[in-house]
Amino acid sequence: MMYKRALMNYTDINDIKRVIVNTHMLKKEEVVDFLDKQTAKIVMICLNELLKSSRSNLEIVVACAVNLGDKEPITNIAKLFEQYGEF
C-alpha cells in the first residue's frame, strides 16, 4: 500500500525508479496502471529499470509495453527487450 501511494505522489524520476522496482510489494495491475498514465520517456526508463533489477519482472514489462505501443515506436520497445536478451 505504501509503495502504491509513493508512486501516486512522486514526480521525480529517481524516486519513481527507486519505488517501481519493488514489484514484490506492488500488484502487476498497479504498475501497469501507473505507467499507462506516464509519458513514453518515463515508461521506457521504468521498463529499463524493471528489466535491470530482475528477470521476474518480464511479465509486467510486457504488459506495459503492449500499452506503450501507441506512444513509442515499436523499434525502441524491441531494442529494450533485445538489450536484455528477451525476445
Task: Please tell me the predicted confidence (pLDDT) of residue 77.
Answer: 92
Per-residue pLDDT of 6-42, as tens digits, reads 999 999 999 999 999 999 999 999 999 999 999 999 9
| Global model pTM greater than 0.95 | no
Give yes or no for residue 68 having a pLDDT over 90: no
CA distances from 12 to 16, 69, 82 (A): 6, 24, 27
pLDDT at 9: 94
CA 10 to each of CA 24, 48, 72, 74: distance values in angstroms, whole numbers, following the listed order? 19, 18, 23, 28
pLDDT band at 87 (very low <50, low <70, confident <90, very high): confident
Cell numbers that stand for 33 in this block: 496502471
User: According to the model, what pLDDT value does residue 67 have?
Assistant: 86
From residue 13, alpha-carbon distances to 16, 35, 42, 45 in Å are 5, 12, 7, 8
